[in-house]
Amino acid sequence: MPVIRFSYFYYKREKAFMEKRKLRSLIIAGIVCVVTLLLWWTGWLQDIENKSYDIRFRLRGETKPAEAIVVAVYDEDSFKLLGRWPWTRTVHAQAVNALTAGGARSVVFDMLLPEPEGAGPDGALSRAASQSGKVVFASFFQINNEGTPTDFLLPIKPFQEHSLIGFTNIFPELDGVSRRIPLFKEYDGEIAPSLGLAGLSVYLGKTPEQVITEQNVPIDEYYEMMINFAGGYESFPYVSYKDIIRGALPVKHWLQYMKAQGVADDAALGTFSTFSAKGAAMTKEEIYAFLEGKKNSAGMEKAMDEFLEKNPSALSDQAELFVEWMSTLPDTARPATDAFFSAFYKDKIVLIGGTASGLFDFVATPFAPIFPGVEIHANTMSNILLKNYLRPGPVLLTMFLIIAFAVFSGIIMGKLSPLWAGVTAVCVFTGYFLFTYFMFTLRYTMVEFVAPATSLALSYIGVMFYRFMTEEKEKRHIKKTFSRYLSPRVMDKVLNDPSYLKMGGNKQELTVLFSDIRGFTTITESLPPEALVAQLNEYLSKMVEIVFRYDGTLDKFIGDAVMAYWGAPLPQADHPKRAVMCALEMHAELKKLQEKWVAEGKPIFEIGVGVNTGEMIAGNMGSKEKMEYTVIGDNVNLGSRLEGLNKDYASRIIVSEATYTLVKDLVEGKILGGVKVKGKTKPVDIYAVLAKKGEPVDQELLKRINEKLAEKNAAKKEEKKEEKKEEKKEEPKPKPFNPDQRIDFGRPPVK
């Protein structure tokens, strides 16, 4: 029965199946592409895209914002010093005067002042704003559910006369996270600037429209700009509002300045990093008091008491450490301190807003769920000053990537094995995310990630699901049907790569094995058909099992004979060894069967095995109606001939010289002589394989082989004698000389 007959059928079936799989994979990819485009175009993927936007920010971490921006906050410490909110506007007037005196170029109030307080306080703030000429006040739009402004809350008239007005509205996404900010808003036929844009207009001395144009600010049809956040809370220098009123500056920034001037060192900054009052601030006079107080302990204690009074969140023991460090400052600390106070507000934008928990001026950002609203405006101004704007990726690029990833999945995933398809999908997915990440960090472009990634993922899932439902099912069926002809390992490789069974033939070095039963005709005459078939099947099953154990390919059963080979369809570098070891194990297994049959009262038989190594042609052969994957050639015929020679030498396994040369270190063998081979002028030596190297040799077998060799040698000698006798008989005897014979020279010579 031909047992690799299925190969041509399988190859053609697999080829047709692969063509269908490619087409259907592309159809699946096309469907996924259309679905993904619809989901993307209708906004169903936007919420997930926003999350990827946030992830990219958090992976990037904090960046350095514009140095021209300072945030002044009315915090809990300010309430402790200045009293309950709202404070009188006289306090705000003091702040404006202090900041203007410090050289601030823009003072921006992120607080609404829509109602009058009184002539005195309102007049004080109005005069301060007018004298400064650098103040921006806040307004607020009342927005309906459609996003249209219905009312506009403005500061009182006196504040509008000498100041620019900017709206404070921040419009979060549907998930509550703020990622964009409008720079303009239309209302009642006019366009109002945002608070941040108004503050920049004052700072740059330009109109809001000029700022947008000259700074090349990218805004969409809704006048919105994507915010490139510098980081989380306190990305900008913070000053407590109370400290503006009393003329103090943060100790942290003073220390950083002193270090830059070579006055302080890292140890001082390290000490302050553990300070419970990181927002602690000091006036020049308080610092001078420390510098003077180091001359006597009483002055130092007084300075520390004043420090603790002005900074209630500081702990006394930590303050003592700080004071101890202050006592070590050199005399150069005083002029450096003067320079620090002179430069801190000079040419800066000072944004004034609230961070106290009771003010509820907080929003969510990609960095934090609770983020001061005033820092949204600070980030907006920083983006415009640094021109590190975020821009959305081109719409056409997103469409192209959705289509490209779907087609890629349809073509590539349809060709690769499930494992490599999965690895490829993960690599492409990761590579694309890295591409979007580096476009964000290096080019400030927010290329959409989710829609193309969805196209890739859904295409992969769709193609893999289709393959699981069809191809893998087909392979399982093929494997179940044909695993009896190929070893499981060989079968798995052939299933994974059907090209091993490609059409046509290849000439390659292989090893072929033939085995045949001795005296089978006699056994057939002594057993009924049912018993004969049962015993033969038992024997053949064991032999096939051994062939598969050595990853051999079972070619066919020729009656009671077995033909197998190694090295095709899968390459095997050690094919001679596998074949010879298989032959030895076949005989060992036969011995066990013989013992069993004797016990069962069944007849026993012997087998002969021939093994040859050489060039053979392997491939699909036959007609269009019937094909087999098999091996042919003179070396195949020699293998069959060697099997038949076992009868002449009383041996069990005969191998050719080509095979023996490659396995002689692994087996015990005996040379039997030479045999004539087609295509060879000289006889080829053949060998009997007796046992594995180092194992005992069957002496009875060796004796029979030696006897046969002696008989053959004797027969050859006798044959040579007979040949010599025949040669002598055929030699003509010379005629005796006759002197009376006449020679007629006129006649031609007798031939």
Residue 298 has pLDDT above 70, yes or no: no
Instruction: HSE, CB side, 13 Å, CA atoms: give it for residue 169.
Output: 23
261 vs 326: which has the higher pLDDT? 261
pLDDT at 676: 81
As a whole number, the mean pLDDT across the chain is 84
Radius of gyration of the chain (CA): 49
Task: Provide the 10 A C-beta neighbour count for residue 426.
Answer: 11
Q: What is the DSSP string of 54-104?
A: HHHHHHH------TTEEEEEE-HHHHHHH-SSSPPHHHHHHHHHHHHHTT-
Q: What is the DSSP string of 216-243?
A: T----TTSEEE-----STT-S-EEEHHH
Give the distance, in angstroms, between the CA of residue 240 and the centroid of all CA atoms in the same chain.
48
- Three-class SS of 364-380: ECCCCCCEEHHHHHHHH
Location of structure tokens 């095979």? 659
Q: How far apart are CA 373 and CA 386, in angstroms?
A: 20
Q: Which amino acid, one-letter code, is at 662?
A: L
> What CATH number has the domain spanning 489-712?
3.30.70.1230
Residue 17 has pLDDT above 60, yes or no: no
Mean pLDDT of the 228-238 span: 91
pLDDT at 651: 92
Q: Please say whether the beta carbons of 73 and 239 come within 8 A.
A: yes
Mean pLDDT of the 13-37 span: 76
**Model pTM score:** 0.65
N- to C-terminal Cα distance for the chain? 65
492 vs 421: which has the higher pLDDT? 421
pLDDT at 24: 76
| Tens digit of each residue's pLDDT (9 = 90 or more) over 406-452 | 998 888 877 777 788 889 999 999 999 999 999 999 999 999 999 99
Phi-psi region of 535 (alpha: psi -120 to 50; beta: other; left: phi over 0): alpha
Asked which of 40-54, 69-83, 318-332, 383-397 is least confident by mean pLDDT, the reply is: 318-332
pLDDT at 265: 67
Give which of 283, 282, 284, 304 is closest to 293, Cα–Cα. Answer: 304
Residue 5 has pLDDT above 50, yes or no: no
| Tens digit of each residue's pLDDT (9 = 90 or more) over 653-681 | 999 999 999 999 999 999 998 888 766 67
pLDDT at 304: 65
Give which of 579, 572, 575, 569 is closest to 514, Cα–Cα. Answer: 579
| Tens digit of each residue's pLDDT (9 = 90 or more) over 377-413 | 999 999 999 999 999 999 999 999 999 999 988 888 7
Q: What is the DSSP string of 587-645?
A: HHHHHHHHHHHHHHT----EEEEEEEEEEEEEEEEE-SS-EEEEEESHHHHHHHHHHHH
Tokens found for residue 651? 């041996």
- Binned at pLDDT 50, 70 and 90, residue 226 comes out as very high
Q: Cis check for the bond before 65: say yes or no (omega within 30 of 0).
A: no
Q: Please say whether the beta carbons of 415 and 34 come within 8 A.
A: no
Give which of 531, 533, 554 is closest to 544, Cα–Cα. Answer: 554
Residue 168 has pLDDT above 60, yes or no: yes
Q: What is the DSSP string of 249-287?
A: EEHHHHHHHHHHTTSS-HHHHHHHHT-S-TT-EE-HHHH
Mean pLDDT of the 461-484 span: 70
Helix (H, G, I), strand (E, B) or coil at 545: helix
- Binned at pLDDT 50, 70 and 90, residue 312 comes out as low
Q: Please say whether the beta carbons of 22 and 411 come within 8 A.
A: yes
331 vs 582: which has the higher pLDDT? 582
pLDDT at 259: 81
Give φ, ψ of 562 to 5 degrees: -120, 135
pLDDT at 638: 92
Helix (H, G, I), strand (E, B) or coil at 420: helix
| Max mean pLDDT range (21-25, 108-112, 499-503, 567-571) | 108-112
Strand 281-282 to 135-143 pairing? unpaired
Task: Provide the 10 A C-beta neighbour count for residue 513.
Answer: 30
Q: How far apart are CA 620 and CA 506, in angstroms?
A: 10
Residue 641 has pLDDT above 50, yes or no: yes
Mean pLDDT of the 158-167 span: 91
List where CATH 3.30.70.1230 sits in the chain: 489-712
